[in-house]
Structure 1
Amino acid sequence: MHELILLQAKPSSPADWVLFWGHFHPLIVHLPIGFLLIAGLLELDRLIRHNSVSPHTITLILFCSAVSATLACVFGYMLSLGGGYEVETLNNHMWEGIGVAVFAWLAWAVKSENLGRIVPFASLMYLPALGVSLLLLLAAGHLGGNLTHGEDYLTQYMPETMRTLAGVQPKQKEMTFQPITDVNQAMVYQQIVNPILHSRCVQCHNAGKAKAGLRLDTPEMIKKGYEDGPVFVAGKSKTSELVKVCLLPEDDDHHMPPKGKTQLKESDIALLTWWIDQGAPFDKKVADLTVNEAIRPVLASLAGGGPLEVGGTQVASGPAPESPVLTMKVPAADPKVVEELKKLNLLVLPLSKEQNQLEVSAVNARTFNDAQAAALPKLSNQIVWLKLGDTEISDAALASIAKLKNLQKLHLEETKVTDAGLKQLKQLANLEYLNLYGTAITDAGLVELAGLKNLKTIYLWQTKVTEQGIASLKTALPKLEVVGGINEQAIAEFAKVAPSESKGSEPKKN
């Protein structure tokens, strides 16, 4: 119950002082909730157990609830002037919130006997007024949650049995995205851009909650834009709001995602910028577009296997397909274990039906953690490719991963693994590809990798390693390819692309 009363935003922009006080609404709104619930519980205790409660105590509580409910209405009105709320839900929330304040005042007036001096039999109105105010409180709180978090906020995780009893529609399956096995053939919007938007933006810009009138859940809605106009200008990332708001300082009120929310990674911004500069196509593959030097390593890191080809040049994205481990036949996986991993929202995909080898990916399981990783060794022979990037695993999970004796490719980017955890990977004799992007790895961690004689490719951008540490690792592993990547300077250059330069960037033909 974060919201109690909001009113529809006016077209004109409100003054800063109005929005300043409006932002106190989430703080004030909890006061009437607490006061009214206490008053209701005291009256219920008095009626059921016949306990004696001082009328003055309840009168004081009701007065505080009425005053705080009124203040919540005022601050809620100020907050609503900032806009970005669904109109129908907002109006219903408004009248329910006003109703809470009105009936709270009425209950106080009756309990304090002020109304009884004017209206005969006013005492009969007390319990109904208190009861109505509590019911309106629950209803307004529910709609406040919808305004803040979306219309399915309370029912999102409701069990199917309760959904049936409550008459709620069955839970929709979470959107899944097709893993990228060949980055050259990957559909740019469906497999690269859309997953970024759904993981970082769609929570606040969807059919149930379209802040600022913007929806980013479908191509049609993205093209439609928001209440102030288009959200992107094809070929011009510099003037596209979708990129501009991401590059603002995090403390800026217009920065997106808002402060406190999970932020876009630098590679995410680079990919969105590249997509827009290429004309923001919704139906093209990577191979159809121009790939510049800065975006190459970012695209390469997305690939599930095979090199990224750009103008005849190959950029390593994973272990070579002719690797001996890929020709090794292993026993078929236990179907029960496969089903167990799928229940953890992991994707379990066959790499080769003949050899019974598997790829396991956590692309749809961002909350995957160390405890759940203990299930992986049950397929120690079959798991050859493992993608756990951007999950909640830490060094503890690497003890389980180290038992995957045929593991050839490992994604650990944007996780909490450290140098200490890398010590446990020494026994992965078949490991050829390792992605450590965005981790806290230092030169000390690279020393632990020197014994992986089959390691061919490693991603180390946005880590704490130094040039000296990389040089030492390459001395130990002369054939190792160390891939750098996008940095803050490159993203700034993306955002500063001149319109004339964007127009001159033509898609590459097949």
Structure 2
Amino acid sequence: MTRLIFLQANAAQPSDWVLFFGRFHPLLVHLPIGFLLIAGLLELDRLTRRKSVSPHTITLILFWSAVSATMACVFGYMLSLGGGYDTETLSDHKWQGIGVAAFAWIAWSVKSENLGRIIPFAQLVYLPALFVSLLLLLAAGHQGGNLTHGSDYLTQYAPTPLRTLAGLAPKQKEVKIEPITDVNQAMVYQQIVNPILQTRCVQCHNADKSKAGLRLDNPDMIKKGYEDGPVLVAGKSSTSELVKVCLLPEDDDNHMPPKGKPQLTESQVALLTWWIDQGASFDKKVSQLVVNDAIRPVLASLGGGGPVTASAGGAVAAGPAPESPVLTMKVPAADPKVIEAVKKTGLLVLPLSKEQNQLEVSAVNARTYGDAQAALLHKLSDQIVWLKLGDTEISDAALAQVAKLKNLQKLHLEQTKITDAGLKQLNGLTNLEYLNLYGTAITDAGLTELVRLKNLKTVYLWQTNVTAQGLAALKKERPTLEIIGGISEQAVAEFAKATSADDKADESKKN
């Protein structure tokens, strides 16, 4: 979301080849900058110190500055076709770039004496042409920075004396993130949602830079959405682009924030999801919304407190930390040789804390990780409490090894090949509280297996094959289980209501 980019489904969308080559513009644009600056410095040295510089050397530098500037213009035009830039700034940048190329060619023509053969006194044009190209280079570079980082990127932190001297407006006050002392009284958008957007999204979705026509810097613009429609649907996080793009695989072109940028944490995604499901209000407090068991500890942590308990009206009340026992229990230290062997399969092995021996094992950099490598996991059955195997090649066979991790609390299986049959093997994970099944082939049959996981608190079911009927049955068996994604809770409730009405009708007919 630092550069939230959505697919543009209109007919004017440029081809992949055009966008591919356009991405080389930032690389090419540095060449004319270097060449022209070197030419300018050499000429300055020649004029001030009367040093002898080979005309051929300067001519060669000017030639490549003109060629590279021209190429930068072409590739820059291709990049601009992707959209998402301020029109006026883009136009200024484009014409300034063309001007750089044009005057670089003029300077080269005069220096190489090609133009002198045609136009008398052409040499008089040389230094002015070089000077103008350098001025336009500075202007184009500034506008390019504005397009990429916003119009106040260079001056944002300018001290007051410099701002006054340059005639700049007084420094804008930064968005104030109010500290949360009482989470029950916190304004949900202003104090919880907006800080997430400010740190992860607004850099590229603001008044100066609105990728895909989207701005996330104020409520009105958020409500307006982007060029293809609304960015959020109140009450339906499962159909809201704001959340959907965060849950895509990180390698997906439409995943936000883009790969390599700071990503949203699980807690931040959960907060955005909860806010949207609760109606995406911009003027309500936490105490005015329904706070479920899954979001309660996340909210409590924002106020510096521990996990929470429910109070009247769905509000949040701080309470003693009901910490999972597996996070504090004494477990033996893992065998260093085993850890090394697990790392060689491509997994990251990280301690949860310096004081404890519990481990987090992640396949974030091991997309080809498969069932064969998973055979080593059971050797860390005491220590592994968080396991992240999302977006790998594992299937149901690997879950036989996962089932041996008796202290497992969090399990990521999103975007894998697991099926309902694999979930049957997890029944013995009595400490499992979090399960991510996003993008898997799980159906209603698999949901029946989740009922047996008595400590399960949160399950992600985005883009699975579950139905409203299956979710209603699961909610009936486990009413406190937080189900994120799949079919909206409203749809489940409506289905359950309709089912109840049909049951009553059938009963009435029997009587």
TM-score by length of 2: 0.64
Give the direction of change, closer, same or farther, for the CA distance of 1:316–1:443 in structure 2 (3 Å limit).
Answer: farther
| Deviation (angstroms), 1:258 | 1.9
| Deviation (angstroms), 1:33 | 0.3
- 1:63 corresponds to which residue? 63
- 2:76 corresponds to which residue? 76
Deviations 1:4-30 (A, max 9, x none): xxxxxx971010011111111111110
- 1:274 corresponds to which residue? 274
1:501 aligns with 2:468: no
- 1:442 corresponds to which residue? 352
In the TM superposition, 1:164-243 aligns within 5 A as 164-243=164-243
Distance in 2, Cα, partners of 1:127 & 1:233: 59
| Deviation (angstroms), 1:119 | 0.9
In the TM superposition, 1:138-153 aligns within 5 A as 138-153=138-153
- Structure 2 gaps of 5+ residues are 1-9, 322-332, 334-348, 359-383, 389-404, 410-430, 438-458, 463-483, 496-511
Distance in 1, Cα, partners of 2:253 & 2:58: 41
Contact 1:297 1:485 in 2 (8 A): no
- Structure 1 gaps of 5+ residues are 1-9, 321-418, 420-438, 449-459, 471-482, 506-510
Contact 2:385 2:407 in 1 (8 A): no
The one-letter code sitting in structure 2 at the alignment partner of 1:495 is G
Distance in 2, Cα, partners of 1:27 & 1:150: 20
SS in 2 for 1:445: coil
SS in 1 for 2:355: helix
Contact 1:236 1:502 in 2 (8 A): no
1:24 aligns with 2:24: yes
Which moves more between the two structures, 58-67 or 184-193? Answer: 184-193
Give the direction of change, closer, same or farther, for the CA distance of 1:13–1:89 in structure 2 (3 Å limit).
Answer: same
- 1:380 corresponds to which residue? none
In the TM superposition, 1:266-345 aligns within 5 A as 266-305=266-305, 308-310=308-310, 317=318
Give the direction of change, closer, same or farther, for the CA distance of 1:99–1:156 in structure 2 (3 Å limit).
Answer: same
Distance in 1, Cα, partners of 2:281 & 2:81: 35
SS in 2 for 1:446: coil
Superposition RMSD on alpha carbons, in Å? 3.1
| Deviation (angstroms), 1:310 | 2.7
- 2:12 corresponds to which residue? 12
Contact 2:150 2:208 in 1 (8 A): yes
- 2:253 corresponds to which residue? 253
| Deviation (angstroms), 1:292 | 2.5
| Deviation (angstroms), 1:68 | 0.3
Q: What is the aligned residue count?
A: 355
Contact 2:297 2:307 in 1 (8 A): no
| Deviation (angstroms), 1:306 | 8.5
| Deviation (angstroms), 1:195 | 0.9
Distance in 2, Cα, partners of 1:222 & 1:44: 51
| Deviation (angstroms), 1:173 | 2.2
The one-letter code sitting in structure 1 at the alignment partner of 2:134 is L
Contact 1:184 1:308 in 2 (8 A): no
Q: Which has the higher contact order (CA 8 A, sep 6+)?
A: 1
| Deviation (angstroms), 1:251 | 2.1
The one-letter code sitting in structure 2 at the alignment partner of 1:228 is D
Which moves more between the two structures, 307-316 or 247-256? Answer: 307-316
Contact 1:183 1:304 in 2 (8 A): no
Give the direction of change, closer, same or farther, for the CA distance of 1:160–1:487 in structure 2 (3 Å limit).
Answer: farther
TM-score by length of 1: 0.64
| Deviation (angstroms), 1:301 | 1.5
Distance in 2, Cα, partners of 1:144 & 1:65: 18
Which moves more between the two structures, 489-498 or 149-158? Answer: 489-498
Which moves more between the two structures, 12-21 or 496-505? Answer: 496-505
Contact 1:446 1:469 in 2 (8 A): no
Deviations 1:221-261 (A, max 9, x none): 11111122111111111111111111122222222122222
In the TM superposition, 1:370-389 aligns within 5 A as none
Percent identity between the two aligned chains: 70
The one-letter code sitting in structure 1 at the alignment partner of 2:267 is S
Distance in 2, Cα, partners of 1:306 & 1:27: 48
SS in 1 for 2:95: helix
